[in-house]
Amino acid sequence: MQENSKKIQKQLTGLINHIRYDLPGDRTEVVFLPYKASMWDSLESVWKAAVSDEQTDAYVIPIPYYDKNPDGSFREMHYEGNLYPAYVPVTHYDDYNFVERTPDVIFIHNPYDNTNYVTSVHPFFYSDHLKQYTDKLVYIPYFILRELNPQNRVEIENIKHFITTPAVIHADRVIVQSENMRQIYIGVMMEYTGNDTASRRYWEEKILGLGSPKVDKVLNTGKEDIEIPGEWLTVIQKPDGSSKKIVLYNTSITALLEHNELMLVKMQDVFRIFQKNRDEIALLWRPHPLIESTLRSMRPQLWEEYQRIRDQYLADGWGIYDDSAELDRAVILSDAYYGDKSSVVELYRKTAKGIVIQKVYQSKIQENFIMASQVNDHENRYILSKQGVLYQFDENTRGFTALKVFCEDTGEEGTYKYMELYGEKIVLFPYRTSRILFYDLANDLLTDAIIAERQSVYRAYYRYENTVYLIGCKDKQTADRKVDLQTLQTQAMPQWLDRIHAQLGLEADYNLTMMGIGKLQIIDFKGYLPLTVPDHIAVIDFRTEEIKVIKVGDRGIRYNTVCYDGNAFWLTGDKTCIVRWCDKKSAITTFENFQPTLPDSKRSKFMDALFAKSVYWDGYVYFAPLLAQEIVCIHTESGALRVLDQTEPLGACFEIGLFEGAVVAFEEVWNDSCCEKVICHSFGTDIEFKSLNEEYQKVRAMIGEKCASAI
């Protein structure tokens, strides 16, 4: 770490020398214009390099900033000149005449000028205005971004708003954290201003990947250099005089704006668990310094409850509350990081200490949470929720961990609803979008491919070998498509459902499926699709792409599930029976020797059928409940029916499948029209989603073992 720190210091000193030589004269006057004292670490090592040079006069001039009202007007003014370290001489902004002094170089760390919704520096200090008073305006970001692959278009899209800012546009030099990030900045700004040789040359000369002073500050400071406040010591020290392990709990603006009330619930859960374990671990809570301003401006309905939670934490006195300007102190003093994804995480990585990211939706499942799709290989099971959260099932802990959140600004749930494993990647097929996503599990790398000219709505997908068939939604005027997963080429295909309507003489608006289409049962190049046309299923031949309708039975059953056991198909629908159909022998057997438990009323408009899905394993077919309230299995040879042991009736299990020699079904638990949790049933063993307490256990293990980042 020391070697990296010296490298950064050498590069930044070189920057000062480079600027001085570009600006001939006896002395060089350099001005630093921080606005938040907590962000001073993004400039400090450059300032130290400047003051150490005998030919340079360096001035630190903290500038005023304003909170904003929801309409964008200015509210309170803030000036933090009295919050800087004692060794930093501060000049008041009224005592420095920029018009007369015209400093050789001005350093800034605020990129937004008037484009921030929450705060604004005084307009005099906007980057386009400052250019009038200096030959060199240099911008260094106050944040550190996660290092990304410059070819990863999806991830880069998520950070563009950090790059296309007024300071990047107006500054003469932009100093970023790495050469890798420099290439990303250059690529984004070329898209923004013009993709030609002259534009590339301009941005390559302007943007320098010299490193971040924030990293330099942390790596050059040890615990022995930190002055710990007395009130902190009362929390940190044990009765015997030894010190507890310290966990830095960081809450971000982004998480609050994204999760709203759920984030407040999560914070209370965190405080409850750490308070319970306060004898062994000291919690150091450091909220983002602009949370109050942000809530007042953008989420005023959350401010009162947030304030109550904060005040209760302060009143209880069992933990540390750090709203100081010294972020580096919290990073250096703590033994582990726990909290939201933010630029603090990227800084914390440099310390080689452990990191655990909190999962807000593990505290309380979002409203209307529904399992959308699941896949498994020989070692892991992956589940995609309707909200676009990808979970991994852990066989050892019997819990679920959120791996990735996939979402787009569509205003609706279900941007991605279907997925498959393709090689080492999870492929997410569009539901309300125009893109396919490829998620590399090993490298946490996300790429995409455009499959339609505009946002489209797809009802379902079928995969056959390396081809995926996407079924469009007629009322959204979305055409069926097929996609070659190897070449990513797409083309239109015949409308299979239209053919079924034509074969059966049905009206075009007749709903052929009860629960949406879902997955086909694919056997020997053919896909078998249950239909709501009584006693009928459809069979698709993937080799010819032809489709035909077959009559199965005469009981008037509107089928919605189909499963194959190697010899025969098992179908269920809206009647209290299970149908065994052997297409080779044209033999049909109906099993009615069971009476399922039914709820007092239907759970939704879709629930006309007893079961949601089915799966075959080891001589039995298992049926996940929809309107029924039990997991039912039937022996494929004897026809004996059995209800799996359970302590109480189940809710709707939208998914069922196999994992490590067990049948797993997923149930929603509802309360007051809100889904509170999803439970995994494996032969009667109920396993809730990974709990907050398990997150805490991960933090404990990490502190004790000094394990690597848990992200």
The 8-class DSSP code of residue 660 comes to T
Greatest mean pLDDT among 109-118, 435-444, 654-663, 689-698 lies in 109-118
pLDDT at res. 413: 47
Residue 412, C-beta contacts closer than 8 angstroms, at least 6 positions apart? 432
| Tens digit of each residue's pLDDT (9 = 90 or more) over 131-182 | 999 999 999 999 888 888 888 777 888 888 899 999 999 999 999 999 999 9
pLDDT of residue 47: 93
- Burial zone of 11 (CB within 10 Å; 0-12 exposed, 13-18 middle, 19+ buried): middle
Under 8 Å CB-to-CB from 196, ≥6 apart: which residues?
A: none
What is the set of domains in the chain, with CATH numbers? Answer: 2-218 (3.40.50), 227-362 (3.40.50.2000), 517-651 (2.130.10.10)
Least confident of 66-75, 174-183, 242-251, 362-371: 362-371
pLDDT at residue 508 above 80? no
Model confidence over 573-603: pLDDT tens digits? 888 889 999 887 778 999 887 776 766 555 4
Confidence at residue 503, expressed as pLDDT on a 0 to 100 scale? 87
- What is the Cβ-side half-sphere exposure of residue 223, based on CA atoms within 13 angstroms? 5
pLDDT at 371 over 60: no
**What 8-state DSSP symbol labels residue 90?**
B
CB 536 within 8 A of CB 510: no
Which pLDDT score is estimated for 570? 93
- At 105 the pLDDT is 95
Q: What does the DSSP assignment read for 396-456?
A: TTTEEEEEEE---SSSSS-SEEEEEEETTEEEEEESEESEEEEEETTTTEEEEEE-SSS-E
Question: Looking at residue 34, what is its pLDDT?
Answer: 96
**In the prediction, which pLDDT does 125 show?**
97
Q: What does pLDDT average to over the chain? A: 79
Provide CB contacts within 8 A for 49, sequence distance 6+: 9, 12, 13, 15, 16
At 397 the pLDDT is 53
Least trusted range by pLDDT, from 78-82, 291-295, 328-332, 487-491: 487-491
281-314 residues labelled b (16+ CB within 10 A) or e (exposed): bbbbbbbbbbbbbbbbbbbeebbeebeeebeebe
Rounded distance, CA 413 to CA 503, Å? Answer: 34
Residues 437-456 have a mean pLDDT of: 74
Structure tokens at 94: 């009224």
pLDDT at 527: 82
- pLDDT tens for 388-418 read 777 776 655 555 566 776 654 433 445 777 7
Q: How far apart are CA 119 and CA 687, in angstroms?
A: 45
- The pLDDT confidence band at residue 653, using thresholds 50, 70 and 90, is low
In percent, the amount of the chain with pLDDT more than 90 equals 28
| Residue 78 or residue 196, greater confidence | 78
CB 205 within 8 A of CB 163: no
The closest of 312, 237, 314 to 278, measured between CA atoms, is 237
Q: What is the pLDDT of residues 481-493, one digit of tens each?
A: 888 888 777 777 7
Q: Could you tell me the pLDDT band of residue 460, with boundaries at 50, 70 and 90?
A: low
Question: Which segment of 93-102, 239-248, 516-525 scores lowest on mean pLDDT?
Answer: 516-525
Global confidence as pTM: 0.52
Residue 356 structure tokens: 């655990």
